[in-house]
Structure 1
Amino acid sequence: PAAAPLAGNAASPARPAAAGQVRGVTDQEIRFGMVIPYTGSAKENGQSYKRGIEVAFARANAGGGVHGRTLKLIAADDGFEPTRTLDAMKLLWDKEQVFGFLGNLGTPTAAVAVPFALARKVLFFAPFTGGSVVRHDPPDRYVFNYRPSFVEEADAAVRYLLKMRKIRPNQIAVFGQNDDLGEQGFAGVAKAYRAAGLNDSTILRLVYNRNSIDMDEAVAQLKQQRVPIKAIVMVGTTRPAAKFIEKTRDLFPGMIYTNMSIVGATALAQELMLLGPRFTENVIVTQAVPAVSGYSSTVLEFKTALAQVAPGEVPDYISLEGYIAANLLIDALKRCGPQLDTERLVETLESTRNLDMGLGAALNLSRGDHQALHKVWGTQLDKTGVYQPIDLE
């Protein structure tokens, strides 16, 4: 392991905790680390999620912090590549001496980050993934989620397509990243088929490679189908999703595209609007938060706080999610009391019952369920590039 920075070294941002002190916690501050991509196909999502958390922290800090301590977020870059995740985690843990991890982005990267956190018995809170790697049953003691799982989102999308849009089961395909992320989206679709008494063995599966926008193979496969595909459940990040819609829109004019929330709804809308309004038709995104264009109390509060912290920044679905997830953590930090340590915080989190954060759905955590939210919202792009709420069932 990397040597700890020398105590008293002016160049070192954080001195190691003395005996009896909790790492990353002083009388003045609590330090959290997050690993996100600064480059690659998911970089906008990482920046948005970070911004939302920072807005929640700034709002708490403006009110005197938590038991007199300010909250600090330190981000490290892994480029959305699992081979780089371990170094980023080590940097935050060894050099920055963080108390816990908050808001790491990615499913393939979580496969590396979670074992690192568990080995050190450190909090791994609200990662930006719906993956099963952060949803073991029973849950890992130190891993907590805000958002619904990919399986829940895919299930909601399939039920919507079957019931509300009357699409036949053999006319739905799955498009996804060629890794854990795509696997889990596909598993969610398969599960929804089985739940509806349908055969899941013949579902057409189209794939692309992570951090790539080469769609030729997926498009070729789609063209070869004897039964025309009318809807696609998409499990990917912004650029690949936009590129796939761009390549298939005119080939399949009536196609419905449902995307998972991790696509980055706002960034997707921007990419499609650059292509032209027809590219926004029938584009649906399942969401882990209520409509940003709506008037739920948490959305209004977030917009006010965002305008104060980052004037001119447009609120989006991912920054809103970061804000809500951070506030779920802040609620527990407050209830935990001034004597903060990881074990006490875990027990406090597990006692979260019917927390009303103005979402229209209460948040709950328990020893047996480390996922606060199980509701999925639906949104659909209009011609102007704005998402309108839709009923999924």
Structure 2
Amino acid sequence: MRRLSEPHDNGEDPRDPAGGPQGQYRQAPWQDEQDRALRDPFPRLVQRVPQPPPPERSPVLVGAVIGLVVAVAAISAYVGVTFMTRPAGMVASDTRVEQAAADASAAAPTPPAGPAAPAPTVVASPSFTPIAPAAAAQAPATPTVREEDSPANLAARIANAAPTATRNVQSTAQGVTDTEIRFGMAAPFSGPAKEMGRQLKLGIETAFGAINDSGGIDGRQLKLVTADDGYEPTRTLNAMKQLYEKDQVFGFVDNYGSPTALVSIPYALEHHALYFGAFTGAPSLRHDPPDRYVFNYRAGYAEEADAIVRYLVKVRGLRPEQIGVLTQQDAYGDAGMDGVAKAIRALRGGVTGQIFRMSYSRNTVNVDDAVAQLRKLKVPLKAVVLVATFRPAAKFIEKTRDLYPDMIYATISGVGSTGLADELMLLGAKYASGVICTQVTPAVDSYASVALAYKNALAKYAPGEAPDYVSLEAYLTANILIEGLKRAGPQLDTETVVDKLENMRNFEMGLGPRVNFGPSEHQAVHKVWGTQLDETGHYRSIELE
């Protein structure tokens, strides 16, 4: 391309409108107009003198740049306020930026007419993360930025217009949907121990009902699914499979029993499923170090047995050899017996000695052999520790009370204390009066904060049901689980729940002792409370030390 100053090949000077000799130059048209204007001292008013637009200083371009600067400043201010006030995890939508840009453009000065300026390249603010157009189309309308909006007012308006960050978060864990978290419980709902299963279910559903009415866990309702194993280990595996494989529960809560736990725990561990707060103090749930997926609420049977033996020896003045044990013939009975032996060994300076043990078969009330063994003793016992369920325990007391009127009967919490009191009162006040029962919760008739909360919730969600130690324990267990679920957040999975439980420190429930878990501590509470039946069939608190 030739420059304007170069002569044409035809010999014409481009600045000479009529041609002319080669080498002379012709002015550009706008220069001719300028020369004529200078020669004419009185130019016509209707005639405008065109000015050469400097390529780099066009008023059109300057106006466009000014408008763009104002628009970008408005957008940046809007986006900055939005991100300072938006919940974590939320991103601005394209519709919000477009609205802010429109408002800013309306307020910007209008540039003079002229050739269109080239479209500027927009560089996104580092704090702005655009979302997909499809998502932007679904985003709620954002309030227009107004000059009178203070940052606080604007933050409030945007927060009200935007959904919370957790509403659309989905979990892929089994038993967890957008609206529900399912837990399973294998327990007896038939057979002699069915009242225990009913009370456990009652306590859990009372706690679940309270949290569900307050919005659930991140918008999800808690649901309990139960399976009946009749307190028979031979039925427990099928119950576990039904809950986990058919009902697709997230984890297990408050399974009942020590012998059944020998079946259910291996299944839960194999599937990496949470096994929380089983109603048992057996050592199979208290390994050192603990199994990752197994957590306990209650004190162990060894701790309860130790508390009873120490009470009988140090408070009641008995010698260890005057204490006998009635046990169920299974893991429950063995756990209680081991606890008694350990306590006696500690009191004797490391020597256990002989401990008189009687037994009966699970899911029966046939204690005749045990009574016969007791009667054969040449030196009568002064106390019997009952590691039994409530019906065979009541039957044993019935058959021996008249033979040994001064006998002290002491049971651990696994007996089902309310059921025991009811059975004994049917026999008569003399059978109930003086019977000791250790507990792993405060007294149900106490004014402890957690006991009052339990009774209020029970009256609301199970009207007509009487407070009970078993349902209170289940209520406490469920509330600790609920706290762990809250801490795990909306993207729920077993590993996250376990991690959050293991980091739970000094959780206050109004229980007395605070709840503490850790990687090496999976038992929430170690405290044992003492109670004793009076002649009216009510438990009164006693000091065990």
TM-score (norm: length of structure 2): 0.68
How far does residue 20 in structure 1 lie from its aligned partner after superposition? 6.9
Please give the alpha-carbon distance, in whole angstroms, between the structure 1 residues aligned to 2:174 and 2:491: 13
In structure 2, give the amino acid aligned to 1:357: M
Q: Among 22, 27, 35, which residue is 2:186 paired with?
A: 35
Please list, as runs of the form range in 1=range in 2, the aligned pairs for 1:134-173 lying within 5 A after superposition: 134-173=285-324
Please give the alpha-carbon distance, in whole angstroms, between the structure 2 residues aligned to 1:289 and 1:360: 10
How far does residue 109 in structure 1 lie from its aligned partner after superposition? 0.3
Q: Among 253, 256, 261, which residue is 1:105 paired with?
A: 256
Please give the alpha-carbon distance, in whole angstroms, between the structure 2 residues aligned to 1:253 and 1:61: 50
Asked if 1 retains the 8 angstrom alpha-carbon contact of 2:171 and 2:177, the reply is no
Please list, as runs of the form range in 1=range in 2, the aligned pairs for 1:338-353 lying within 5 A after superposition: 338-353=490-505
Please give the alpha-carbon distance, in whole angstroms, between the structure 2 residues aligned to 1:20 and 1:142: 19
How far does residue 21 in structure 1 lie from its aligned partner after superposition? 1.3
1:231-284 C-alpha deviation (Å, 9 max, x unpaired)? 111101111111111111111101111111011110100000000000012201
Please give the alpha-carbon distance, in whole angstroms, between the structure 2 residues aligned to 1:87 and 1:304: 36
Asked if 2 retains the 8 angstrom alpha-carbon contact of 1:126 and 1:146, the reply is yes
Q: Does 2:519 match 1:367?
A: yes
Please list, as runs of the form range in 1=range in 2, the aligned pairs for 1:200-211 lying within 5 A after superposition: 200-211=352-363
Please give the alpha-carbon distance, in whole angstroms, between the structure 1 residues aligned to 2:333 and 2:461: 35
Please give the alpha-carbon distance, in whole angstroms, between the structure 2 residues aligned to 1:201 and 1:111: 29
1:77 alignment partner in structure 2: 228
Please list, as runs of the form range in 1=range in 2, the aligned pairs for 1:1-393 lying within 5 A after superposition: 21-197=172-348, 199-393=351-545
Q: Highest Rg: 1 or 2?
A: 2
How far does residue 212 in structure 1 lie from its aligned partner after superposition? 1.0
Please give the alpha-carbon distance, in whole angstroms, between the structure 1 residues aligned to 2:171 and 2:424: 54
How far does residue 201 in structure 1 lie from its aligned partner after superposition? 2.9
The Cα RMSD (Å) is 1.0
Asked if 1 retains the 8 angstrom alpha-carbon contact of 2:432 and 2:533, the reply is yes
Asked if 2 retains the 8 angstrom alpha-carbon contact of 1:255 and 1:282, the reply is no
Please give the alpha-carbon distance, in whole angstroms, between the structure 1 residues aligned to 2:532 and 2:270: 42
Please give the alpha-carbon distance, in whole angstroms, between the structure 1 residues aligned to 2:456 and 2:404: 41
1:201-237 C-alpha deviation (Å, 9 max, x unpaired)? 3110010000111111111111111221011111011
In structure 2, give the amino acid aligned to 1:100: G
State the SS of the aligned residue for 1:229: coil
2:159 alignment partner in structure 1: none
Q: Which runs of 5+ in 1 are unaligned?
A: 1-18
Structure 1 or 2: larger strand share? 1
Runs of 4+ in 1 over 6 A off after TM superposition: none
Please give the alpha-carbon distance, in whole angstroms, between the structure 1 residues aligned to 2:498 and 2:447: 32
TM-score (norm: length of structure 1): 0.94
Asked if 1 retains the 8 angstrom alpha-carbon contact of 2:171 and 2:492, the reply is no
Asked if 2 retains the 8 angstrom alpha-carbon contact of 1:246 and 1:279, the reply is yes
1:159-213 C-alpha deviation (Å, 9 max, x unpaired)? 0100111112111001110111111100000000111125423110010000111
In structure 2, give the amino acid aligned to 1:131: A
2:37 alignment partner in structure 1: none
Please give the alpha-carbon distance, in whole angstroms, between the structure 2 residues aligned to 1:122 and 1:215: 38
Asked if 2 retains the 8 angstrom alpha-carbon contact of 1:28 and 1:69, the reply is yes
Please give the alpha-carbon distance, in whole angstroms, between the structure 2 residues aligned to 1:142 and 1:279: 42
Asked if 2 retains the 8 angstrom alpha-carbon contact of 1:41 and 1:237, the reply is no
How far does residue 40 in structure 1 lie from its aligned partner after superposition? 2.1
Asked if 2 retains the 8 angstrom alpha-carbon contact of 1:34 and 1:76, the reply is yes
1:10 alignment partner in structure 2: none
Please give the alpha-carbon distance, in whole angstroms, between the structure 1 residues aligned to 2:245 and 2:229: 16
Please give the alpha-carbon distance, in whole angstroms, between the structure 2 residues aligned to 1:83 and 1:292: 34
Asked if 1 retains the 8 angstrom alpha-carbon contact of 2:171 and 2:493, the reply is no
1:16 alignment partner in structure 2: none
1:264-318 C-alpha deviation (Å, 9 max, x unpaired)? 1101000000000000122011001000111100000000000000101001000
State the SS of the aligned residue for 1:163: helix
How far does residue 41 in structure 1 lie from its aligned partner after superposition? 2.6
1:361-385 C-alpha deviation (Å, 9 max, x unpaired)? 1111110010000000000001100
Q: Which runs of 5+ in 2 are unaligned?
A: 1-169
Please give the alpha-carbon distance, in whole angstroms, between the structure 1 residues aligned to 2:171 and 2:371: 59
Asked if 1 retains the 8 angstrom alpha-carbon contact of 2:360 and 2:367, the reply is yes
